[in-house]
Structure formats: C-alpha cells, structure tokens
Chains A and B, each alone.
Chain A
C-alpha cells in the first residue's frame, strides 16, 4: 500500500470536498478557542456581563488562587497514573481477548459495556456503590471482615481521589484494549506461530517479536487515552464535584468551578488557556512519537 500514488491537484479543487469539514472546524472548534483567549483578558461581572478589559488581572488572580498548586499536582497524577495503569493492564487484557477459550465472546462483550455506558452512568453507579450508607461495597467489605464499620471512601480527599482513579482506569480500558486487540489481529499468523515456536521462551519471544509490531498501536492508544483522560470531566464531576473542597479537582473541573460556582468567568478562562497550552504539548509529543507523517504515508 505504501506505493500508492496520489493524484495531484490544486488546493482550490479540494474546497468542495473539504468545505463542510472546514466550516465545522473553523466555525466551531477554532472560534471557541479565540473566544476563550479573549475572555481571559476581560473583566466579567459576577452575573456574567463583560465590563471591559482586564489586562493580566485574571491570570494574576489565577496564580494567586490557593488551590491552583494542588490542582496542578493532582492533574499530573491523574494523567500519569491512569495512562500507565490503563496501558499496563490493556496489554495482557488484549492478549486474553485474542486468546481462544470458552467465554471469549462473553469477555469481549463485557468489556464493551463500560465503553457503551456513558461516563455519567458509570460514575453514578460507582458513587452509589461507594455510598457509606446504602452502597454495596461497604457491605461486602464488612461481610469479608476487612472493615468493621462503614467508611465513606468519597468523603476523604485521599481515598476519594483513589476511587476516581480506579473508575478512570476502568472506563479507559475498553478503548485501549480494543486498539491493542486490533493491533494483535493485524499481525500475520505465521509471525505469531514463529514467536510461539521460538525456543528461547515465551516472554522473550513476545517482547522481541510481537511487542515491536504492537508499538504503533500502543503509542497511539496511549496518547489518545492521555488526551481523553486529561479532558475527562464527568467522572470527577458526578462522583465528587471535585470535593471535598477542591481536593479532588483536576484543571478541567477546577476551571468549571471557578466559572460557575465562584462566578469568576475571567479567571476560569485564563485557566482554560493554560489547559489549552498543556494539550498543545500533548500534540507535539504525539507528532514526535508517532512520526505521524510516516504513518500517514504508509
């Protein structure tokens, strides 16, 4: 396929074909970006009216916000922990999904469920399971004699954040494991056989032969997952609204809270600009890692 030739054409000829897509991209992805930048330099009243320009005041207020540092730290942990565990679990999981056994279909379909369910549903159900009074988890833990009296895992900042991480991993797994499964299935059968027969043993064969072939899928899965995780809002919002206090906020929920709870849209916009810059870093990373042009040309 790499020998494929392109028809040459002028960029104007492309317009009718690309037009609708360009309208959507420029009109509804890039325009909001511009609006966002402008808002971050504006003075906005508590009821949301624009009262003129604010210079760098919003940015100063943000840097002066006592909960910013903690939020940034948590965002980093959120990202790193979820992506790491997601990738580390999806690899064996994809292998399992690819293996032949009775119940394989059941496994594959079960993994689809968290993907099909909206994040709001999964988060709601998790919140219910974790409820200190009515939740089933406490009952299970008590019946197993692990704890003596009900605990409220979402009530304490540390344990709440850990619960959020676990749910974050759960909902990330379907996508990445299916990407890796797809990667596995694209590996020709004879190579797989060769890896098995390789007398040097299983693991060595796996890492030497199969993993390198999976690398592109792995990388793409990881970066897409990272972006997804970074932007993830409903899990935190539904389960804890970033609370107690601001102790489980990441930058996305923090920005929302500043805008709509603390009623400071200007400051929130300046944080959103920060988020925007972080995502730009991801994009650079992705472009560098994936050598996307080569990917495209293949």
Chain B
C-alpha cells in the first residue's frame, strides 16, 4: 500500500519537476518585446481594467507583450524595490513616489515616456510636483483632495447643527454624538499602516504645521505644531471619542468600513470616498463633506495627493513604455482608468474640464488651491514617509516619542 503510494507520488513529482523546469525555461524564446507593469491597486476594479486595456493594446501592437502586476498600496513600494534590486526592474510603475528613484538615475524623463501632446495635456501644477532638481521624471496619473466626511443623520440626531469647523467644535460634536449614540464612534481615526501619513499631514496642517521647510532644507516634524495636533487627537482617543484602536486601523478595512455601516460618524475622506462607499455597502449613508476642523486661530487645509506613472531605464524599453502610456492616455482609456480608480481628480486638462462639472468631484477641483502636498519631490521623502507611517502606530500612546523618532529618521534620510 505504502509502496504503491510512493510510486504514485514519485511519478507525480517527476511531472512537477519537469513542469517547473519547463516553466522557468519558457521566457527565453521571445522575439516579442515584453514590458512589465507594476501598478497600484486603487480599487478591486484595477485588475479588470488593465486586463482589458492590455488585451486591446497587445492587439494594436503585435510586437509588444505586457506583463501585469497589480499591487496593494502597502506592498507596492517594497515590491518595486525588490524587483529593482534583483535586476528585474519593471518598465512602468504607478505609485506615489518618484524622487528617490529619480535621484538614483533609474527613471526616464517625463518627456521621454509620453508624447509631447500627452504631456501638454497634463495640468501644469501637477507637473511641477513631478520634478526632481527641476526636471520632470514622472507623469501624474491622477490626484485627490481630502474633505472631512460626516454622517448627516447622526450629526442631526445628536443635535449638531453644522459640521465642526474647529477642534473645539469637533470635541463638542463628538461628545454629543457619543452621548446620544453610545454604539457609534464619533470620529474614525485611521493611523494604521495604510495611510497614516495622510492623517498626520492633514491634522497637523490644520494647526499650521508643514512637513518640510524648503528654505532651511530640513524636515520639520518634531515641532510644537505637530505635537499639539497629536495631543489633540490623543485627547479624543483618551475620551473614547474615536474607535478603540487608531494605531492599527486602516482606512479601507477599518474607518471607512465603519463609516459605511453608520458606526463611525465623522472621518477623513477624499474625493474618492463616495465612490468607495457605493461599492462597499455604504450606499444608504447620507454623507456630507466639509473642510477639516482646524486649530484655534489657524485656517483649514486640505491634503492634496498626486500619484505617478514612471518609466524605468533598466531594460531600455523606452519606445514600448511610451506606446503604452500614450495608449493609456487616449481619452476613453484614461476615463476608464479614472473610473476604475474610483472618483479621483484627473491629471489631464481635457478630463479635468469634464470633472470640474461633476457634482461630486467638482468641488474638490476647486479645493486644490488650499491643498498641502507631500514633499514628494525630495529623494528622502519615501523613507521619511515610511517613518511617519510606522510611528503613527504608537503616536496615541506617546506623541512626543513618536515625533522624536520620526524626526531622527527623516533627518537621516535627508542627509543621505
């Protein structure tokens, strides 16, 4: 019995080994040029979108084959790094950082990877955010701006007449909500690894804090302005006015999910949140969007985030990269991209005209002048961002300690 099994197993095994050798040997036969894509997964709709796009692209360009990898946000930075370090550089990447790679000379210039007409269509302000040492190394794919979302029904039910505009009003509103609806967390505070840097930037920003001082060329993280904003958030956490675990809550599987269920009354959302809600069981929620509450005597800000397409030099596929990106930026294809990504602000003028008229996206386009952006043009930003993300996990326990640690890491990255 045993013996027969062994024989069966080993026959099976032999097939397995042969197959695996065959599988690894296969790519050698190419006369076709393959380009590798590593793309951020804004939503679950990205993979179907790219799959369709690639099928059509390959049909139109018989000499080019496209290998697709759609990666979740928290993994994508690491994945790209892994691929580069292993000599398997991707050809096109879509994520939220470019300057470090530009500094290392890994990237084609923006003018090399899209045609002049595509480039001319990109909104100039976004192009400026894509420059390293005065040269654009990335093509913006889309942008977002944030707003403070609230559940109209809960706020009204708790007797909160208008969305809180200041920190004091926020605390008061939260207390009122807690009292009236003990099962609702008044504020959703996602300081988990998914996008803690956004919360940090936008709450600090409402207290006048900025991440980087361009004159002194220094990160300005360990400052009183940031400390006060964290202490304010901590006071909310300590009074149980937020969900219980800010340091590990993400947006999509935490704060927003709770918001969609009416378990969180107020949350940092963005232009993309309405689309997300409709896809994730939050259709019934009556939401409103307001400016972020700010500190006394300061003015409200929003956070502007833009992401990028980048072309990598390592494989010398500039022609194919350009063909693909130009194909993606064809109006209909780009609309499809925006749709799959889920309600962002377009990066092109042509799509922007349409978006400005959109009842949901339009107000955000108007909001952009108030936006603070990350110092994404710095080579050190990626490392600094990572430090913020990790240390926000414990910032509600000991804000000062987190700030000290972040400052130290950002300074170290800045010196490199």
Please state if A245 and B81 are interface contacts (CB–CB under 8 Å): no
- How far apart sit A240 and B249, CA to CA, in the bound complex (Å)? 11
Interchain Cβ contacts under 8 Å between A and B, 11 examples: A46-B379, A46-B380, A48-B85, A66-B405, A151-B244, A152-B245, A155-B245, A241-B193, A243-B192, A245-B393, A262-B390
Top 3 nearest A-B pairs (CB, nearest first) are A155-B245, A245-B394, A244-B247
Contact indicator per residue, chain A 212-232, by CB within 8 Å of chain B (1) or not (0): 000000000000000000000
Which listed residue, B85, B244, B408, touches A66 by the CB 8 Å rule? B408
Taking chain B's interface residues, is the majority helix, strand, or loop, or is none over half, making it mixed? helix
Please state if A243 and B382 are interface contacts (CB–CB under 8 Å): no
Please state if A150 and B244 are interface contacts (CB–CB under 8 Å): yes
Q: Which residues of B contact A264 (CB under 8 A)?
A: 383
B252 in the interface, Cβ–Cβ < 8 Å? Answer: no
Contact indicator per residue, chain A 135-177, by CB within 8 Å of chain B (1) or not (0): 0000000000000001110111100000000000000000000
Which listed residue, A47, A247, A262, touches B100 by the CB 8 Å rule? A47
Please state if A262 and B247 are interface contacts (CB–CB under 8 Å): no
Please state if B248 and A263 are interface contacts (CB–CB under 8 Å): no
B33 in the interface, Cβ–Cβ < 8 Å? Answer: no
Q: Which residues of A contact B243 (CB under 8 A)?
A: 132
In this complex, the member of A66, A67, A244, A265 whose beta carbon has the largest number of chain B beta carbons within 10 angstroms is A244
Contact indicator per residue, chain B 392-412, by CB within 8 Å of chain A (1) or not (0): 111101000010110011001
- How far apart sit A65 and B397, CA to CA, in the bound complex (Å)? 19
Please state if A243 and B248 are interface contacts (CB–CB under 8 Å): yes
Q: Which residues of A contact B82 (CB under 8 A)?
A: 48, 260
Given that A46-B413, A155-B247, A262-B390 are contacting pairs, would A133 and B258 also be in contact in the complex, using a CB cutoff of 8 Å? yes
Please state if B85 and A265 are interface contacts (CB–CB under 8 Å): yes
B34 in the interface, Cβ–Cβ < 8 Å? Answer: no
Please state if A48 and B81 are interface contacts (CB–CB under 8 Å): yes
CB distance from A222 to the nearest CB of B (A): 32
Please state if B393 and A263 are interface contacts (CB–CB under 8 Å): no
Q: Which residues of A contact B120 (CB under 8 A)?
A: none
Which listed residue, A47, A155, A243, touches B101 by the CB 8 Å rule? A47
Report which A residues bind B (CB closer than 8 A). Answer: 45-49, 61, 66-67, 132-133, 150-152, 154-157, 240-241, 243-247, 257, 260-265
- How far apart sit A67 and B104, CA to CA, in the bound complex (Å)? 28
Taking chain A's interface residues, is the majority helix, strand, or loop, or is none over half, making it mixed? loop
Q: Which residues of A contact B392 (CB under 8 A)?
A: 245
- How far apart sit A287 and B150, CA to CA, in the bound complex (Å)? 64
Please state if B393 and A247 are interface contacts (CB–CB under 8 Å): yes
B416 in the interface, Cβ–Cβ < 8 Å? Answer: yes
Which listed residue, B104, B247, B405, touches A243 by the CB 8 Å rule? B247
Please state if A262 and B386 are interface contacts (CB–CB under 8 Å): yes
Q: Contacts A132-B244, A246-B390, A262-B387 known; list 17 others, CB within 8 Å.
A: A45-B104, A47-B81, A47-B104, A48-B84, A48-B85, A49-B85, A66-B404, A67-B405, A133-B263, A243-B248, A244-B248, A244-B394, A245-B247, A245-B394, A260-B77, A261-B77, A265-B85
Q: Which residues of B contact A150 (CB under 8 A)?
A: 244
Contact indicator per residue, chain B 229-270, by CB within 8 Å of chain A (1) or not (0): 000000000000001111111000000001000010000000
Please state if A243 and B390 are interface contacts (CB–CB under 8 Å): yes
- How far apart sit A260 and B193, CA to CA, in the bound complex (Å)? 13
CB distance from A61 to the nearest CB of B (A): 7
- How far apart sit A156 and B397, CA to CA, in the bound complex (Å)? 9
Given that A48-B84, A66-B408, A244-B247 are contacting pairs, would A157 and B394 also be in contact in the complex, using a CB cutoff of 8 Å? yes
Question: Which residue of A is nearest B81, CB measured?
Answer: A48
Please state if B245 and A132 are interface contacts (CB–CB under 8 Å): yes
Q: Which residues of B contact A155 (CB under 8 A)?
A: 244-249
Q: Which residues of A contact B397 (CB under 8 A)?
A: 157, 244
Q: Which residues of B contact A132 (CB under 8 A)?
A: 243-245
B70 in the interface, Cβ–Cβ < 8 Å? Answer: no
Q: Which residues of B contact A61 (CB under 8 A)?
A: 412
CB distance from B402 to the nearest CB of A (A): 7
Which listed residue, A133, A151, A244, A263, touches B382 by the CB 8 Å rule? A263
- How far apart sit A289 and B393, CA to CA, in the bound complex (Å)? 41
